[in-house]
Amino acid sequence: MTSNQKDAQERFFAVIPAGGIGSRLWPLSRASAPKFLHDLTGNGQTLLQDTWDRLLPLAKDRIMVVTGDIHAEAVQHQLPKLDDSHVILEPSPRDSTAAIALAAAVLEKREPGVIIGSFAADHVILDQSKFEAAIREGVEVAAAGKIVTIGLRPTEPSVAFGYIRKGSKLSATACEVIEFVEKPDIALARQYVESEEYLWNAGMFIAPAKLLLDVLAKTQPGLHAGVIELAENWDSDKRDEVMKRVWPTLTKIAIDYSVAEPAAREGMVAVVPGEFEWHDVGDFAAIAELQSHGRKGHLAVLGSARVLSASSSGILVSDTGRLVALIGLDDVIVVDTGDALLVTSKEHAQRVKSLVESLRESGHSELL
């Protein structure tokens, strides 16, 4: 029996690309301590630890983390059971294709026939059993020769996510993917939701590593050649030399564009609907919503803040231990860190990103 013939679930290997600063969560999230290294749910675990725990029942110790080399220590500290051989450290960020394709190539070389699943390190998923069911189904569909994406049933016409247009059924739950569409405007988002043909793209996908690499070989041959050369030398003493030479040459491109969309056009992508609650906690307003569970007038508190609040709602995040007094503020966002303080409102939560950009432009990189 070759590994290709092994049970699909046994061939599954989870990959966690742990990158991205999460600049909408500044000043909590920094280049040096990005979103996934923080506890944004108040459950005492970071988003990365939550992601690990969520994948453990599906993948056991078969979990690989791809992260920036400056986060190596923090990741090892937060995930003490993570095997050294399951860590890929990026000397510099080169977008999601390089990260995931290198993981795919290294794993395929070690274990031909491996089925990888890619799961962002900084999402919140609330129903573990439904998550596991969706992933197991996705692995089966992937094993049949598909790139599988997990699609979430829209609960509202969000303009914050890309959408997946589903086609004919492939199984009891899985469907073909007709196309991926970019973040729509609100009118289009309403049409998508009403049509019931569209699902939110949560950026999770599952595929045989070889299939993913084969698609990449056609769409980005140079990038493909680079990750293959890296994988060939990964488990040898040449790794550092090849990494130093090849990594900086890899094309920066999101895997959506290099693999998912081209493969969808070839009819190679399937979607499995996820029935679980999913949050990308992209900004402080989203965290406040998540923390407040729909309670109106609730003030969510994250971190070590001592709070004295009168007639205030929204969210307070603090890691300074200072007393924070809030009076008469609705939907406020206060983020109190050692060297920077942010005060805004839920309405303006998305604008934090442009503020961070203006900080960068004005040379305050020590605060980013």
Contacts with a second copy, 348-367, as mask; x by CB under 8 A:
x--xx-xx--xx----x--x
Q: Is residue 338 near a second copy by the rule CB under 8 A?
A: yes
- Residue identified by tokens 């109190």 is 336
CB of 32 to a second copy, least distance (A): 16
Size of the site for a second copy (CB under 8 A): 33
How far is the C-alpha of 22 from the C-alpha of 6, rounded, in Å?
39
Task: Choose which of 44, 84, 222, 327 interacts with a second copy (CB under 8 A).
Answer: 327
* 3-class SS of residue 15: strand
Interface mask toward a second copy for 263-302; x: CB under 8 A: ----------------------------------------
**Interaction of residue 326 with a second copy, rule CB under 8 A:** yes
| Closest to 134 (Cα-Cα) out of 80, 78, 57 | 57
Distance CA 80, CA 96 (A): 25
Residue range at the interface with a second copy (CB under 8 A); choices 32-40, 136-144, 165-173, 320-328: 320-328
CA angle 208–214–215, rounded 5-degree value: 95
Of 115-123, 235-243, 263-271, 336-344, the window that binds a second copy (rule: CB under 8 A) is 336-344
Asked if 328 is part of the footprint of a second copy (rule: CB under 8 A), the reply reads: yes
What is the SS3 string spanning 145-166? Answer: CCEEEEEECCCCCCCCCCEEEE
Stretch that binds a second copy, among 3-11, 149-157, 265-273, 303-311 (CB under 8 A): 303-311
CA angle 195, 206, 12 (to 5 degrees): 145
**Which amino acid belongs to residue 361?**
E
Look up residue 175 and give its two tokens: 């469907």
Q: Which residues pair with 151 in a beta bridge?
A: 201, 273
Q: In the complex, which residues of this chain contact a second copy (CB under 8 A)?
A: 27, 308, 310-311, 322-329, 332, 334, 336, 338-345, 347-348, 351-352, 354-355, 358-359, 364, 367
